[in-house]
Amino acid sequence: MDFTPTEEQTAARDLAARVFGDLSTPERLAAAGSGTDAELWKALCAAGLTSAVEDVGLLGLVLLLEEQGRTTAQVPFAVSCVYGLLAVGRHGTREQRARLLPALRDGSAVATGAFPDRGAVRAGADGRLTGTTGWVPWLRDATHVLVPDADRSLWLVRVADAGTVPVVTTAPWAAAELRLEATPAERLGSVGAYADVLAAARVAYAGLQAGVCAGSLARAVAHTSVREQFGRPLSTRQAVQLRAADAHMDTEVIRVTAYEAAWRFDEGLPCASHVLTAGWWASEAGRRVVHTGQHLHGGIGADLDHPVHRHFLWGRQIDAHLGCGARLLDELGAVLADEEHEEHEEHEEHDEPAGHAGHAGHAGHAGHAGHAGHSEPGRPGRQSVHEERRGREEQGEQEEQGEHEEQEETA
């Protein structure tokens, strides 16, 4: 693994740092409210940072989102890149790419996504969608929204054709609820597209969280270095140093796990467990860091107008977005258990005597086919470890009941 940025990624990151640093000031953020900072969005697009995502990959996007997170810049950068540029670029047809990508590159079109799937949207035979989603980030400022249906097929919907109801969220992300009533939509991608886009989104938001945490910690360090109590700066107190050190380590773990997941994604390597690991750290450790940043500011950390409070709000919003820590940990456990089960099966097949190989292979295939509906996306035909355990428990209960009946007949 080599996470060293390429020249293109480094140049894009440095440019993003300058643009966000110059234009995403506390005064402009306060003026933007919960909507997009239109001037900043135009500056990003004019600098070519949106279109650069297609060249620098997901790892490059993570680097750019770190810079956005440091300043909590009020723009739909993450959603438009993940659900627009990357999704259409990876899963769109040639015609869709030619029609949709130019506007997404120059920022005249903004995409977002109704992720994760909650099974609330149904697709009709005519390609029209019906249902209501939960809150969707930046939907009020978007032109297109990527919607998964109950079967996890992806559909691209024009926001102008759908109904929206504004929603107030913890972070000011111009969110709204999406309401679809036989709304026209176009299919994007095929089997596996949902899992691919969700993985990219989780890694991207982990990168954004790394920046949010770094920005919060930087403000805490600056504050405790000049704030004095009993004639000494707060930063000289051991308790403050320990809190800051723990927050620094948490931030670094979020960053490195996001880098690894993004690198594997770009290289086309298996990354399901790495994506969930990055997401879990972004959720759990991210929440700790933004609480620490606010705590080290003392009373002024509770001031709603103080810049560090924005980092707190963004950190808590990302914590809950695309799956909280407990949900991600549950998914990760299932993935790791299935991977272990698969490795065990491979070892058994390898150790099987040659005379039984054909029969065992046929039986294994038949057994998997019967449980295809319960298999993990991208791994069809594999019985889950949980189902196998339940089967063993039921078999044990039946044997115990049979023994009990035999004892009664003997008596």
Q: What is the pLDDT along the chain (411 residues), one digit of tens a residue?
A: 777 889 999 999 999 999 999 999 888 888 888 889 999 999 999 999 999 999 999 999 999 999 999 999 999 999 999 999 999 999 999 999 999 999 999 999 999 999 988 889 999 999 999 999 989 999 999 999 999 999 999 999 999 999 999 999 999 999 999 999 999 999 999 989 999 999 999 999 999 999 999 999 999 999 888 787 788 887 878 888 999 999 999 999 999 999 999 999 999 999 999 999 999 999 999 999 999 999 888 888 888 888 899 999 999 999 989 888 899 999 999 999 988 877 777 777 776 655 444 444 443 443 333 343 334 444 444 344 445 445 555 555 565 555 555 555 554
Structure tokens at 106: 């120059």
Which runs of E-coded beta strand occur in 303-401? Answer: none
The closest of 172, 7, 185 to 96, measured between CA atoms, is 185
The pLDDT value recorded for residue 310 is: 93
Q: Taking the CA of residue 119 as centre, how many other CA atoms within 13 Å lie in the half-sphere pointing to its CB?
A: 0
The closest of 273, 277, 285 to 318, measured between CA atoms, is 285
Cα-only R_g, the chain: 25
CA 312/CA 255 separation, integer angstroms? 18
| Contact present, 59 and 278 (Cβ < 8 Å) | no
The pLDDT value recorded for residue 33 is: 82
For 59-84, how does the pLDDT look when each residue is reduced to its tens digit (9 = 90+)?
Answer: 999 999 999 999 999 999 999 999 99
Residue 377: is the preceding peptide bond cis (ω within 30°)? no
CA angle 82, 83, 88 (to 5 degrees): 100
Structure tokens at 26: 């506390």
Strands 163-166, 228-229: pairing kind: unpaired
Prediction pTM value: 0.82
Sequence-ordered list of residues with C-beta below 8 angstroms from that of 359, at least 6 positions apart, any chain: none
The pLDDT value recorded for residue 353 is: 58
CA 203/CA 196 separation, integer angstroms? 11
The pLDDT value recorded for residue 393 is: 53
CA angle 222, 224, 229 (to 5 degrees): 145
Residue 186's DSSP bridge partners are: 156
The pLDDT value recorded for residue 366 is: 39
CA 66/CA 213 separation, integer angstroms? 9
| Contact present, 204 and 62 (Cβ < 8 Å) | yes
Which runs of E-coded beta strand occur in 110-235? Answer: 111-113, 121-123, 128-136, 144-148, 154-158, 163-166, 176-184, 186-188, 228-229, 232-233
